[in-house]
């Protein structure tokens, strides 16, 4: 078991996560869904109970996005806008990956992003129930 600490840019949100081993042994997800490409996030997935928040969790702003009929809460620091990651929602029947939390590893301290085992995930069409982002292309761009 290895514990890592993370926080948002301004420090309001502080937490630790405990993984079965080194983060460099875990599959880190780089997802191409409509949200993740916009956030630029990289995820480690683990059971929600393995994340321990020391401050700021109650302050997080939530964006609820559904993939098909399955919901996830995407969570942000209300002060600095850092994207902390997503959590499954209750009740579990409507949750996207029940009991799971995906932490944005870009918020973790003292890790080397270049050494992570980053795996592509096809969330764009792989989650079922496509979400079409309203794409603004500008007056003349296309
Ligand atoms: Zn912050």
SS3 11: coil
Give the alpha-carbon dihedral of 10, 8, 15, 78, to 10 degrees.
80
| C-alpha of residue 29 to centroid of ligand 1, in Å | 23
Q: Nearest Cα to 47, choosing from 11, 13, 1?
A: 1
| C-alpha of residue 48 to centroid of ligand 1, in Å | 21
Averaged pLDDT, 48-59: 91
CA distances to 54, 61, 82, 126, 128 from 57, rounded to whole Å, are 8, 9, 13, 30, 29
Share of the chain above pLDDT 70, in %: 85
Greater pLDDT, 95 or 47: 47
Residue 85: pLDDT band with limits 50, 70, 90: very high
| C-alpha of residue 130 to centroid of ligand 1, in Å | 31
Residue 131: pLDDT band with limits 50, 70, 90: low
| C-alpha of residue 82 to centroid of ligand 1, in Å | 6
| C-alpha of residue 79 to centroid of ligand 1, in Å | 5
| C-alpha of residue 52 to centroid of ligand 1, in Å | 17
pLDDT 10s digits, 2-53: 999 999 999 999 999 999 899 999 999 998 888 888 999 999 988 888 889 9
Residue 128 pLDDT: 61
| C-alpha of residue 76 to centroid of ligand 1, in Å | 8
What structural domains does the chain harbor?
A: 2-123 (2.170.150.70)
| C-alpha of residue 69 to centroid of ligand 1, in Å | 30
Residue 123: enclosing H or E segment and its boundaries?
Answer: helix 123-126
Gap between the Cα atoms of 68 and 138, Å rounded: 29
């Amino acid at each position: 078991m290895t514990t890592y600490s993370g926080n948002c840019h301004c420090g309001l949100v502080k937490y630790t996560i405990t993984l079965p081993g080194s983060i460099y042994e875990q599959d880190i997800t780089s997802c191409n869904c409509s949200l993740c490409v916009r956030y630029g996030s990289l995820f480690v997935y683990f059971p929600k109970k393995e994340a321990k928040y020391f401050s700021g969790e109650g302050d997080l702003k939530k964006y609820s996005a559904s993939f098909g009929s399955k919901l996830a809460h995407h969570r942000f620091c209300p002060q600095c806008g850092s994207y902390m990651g997503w959590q499954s929602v209750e009740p579990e029947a409507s949750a996207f990956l029940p009991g799971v939390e995906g932490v944005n590893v870009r918020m973790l301290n003292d890790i080397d992003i270049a050494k992570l085992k980053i795996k592509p995930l096809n969330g764009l069409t792989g989650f079922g129930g496509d979400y079409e982002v309203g794409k603004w292309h500008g007056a003349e761009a296309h």
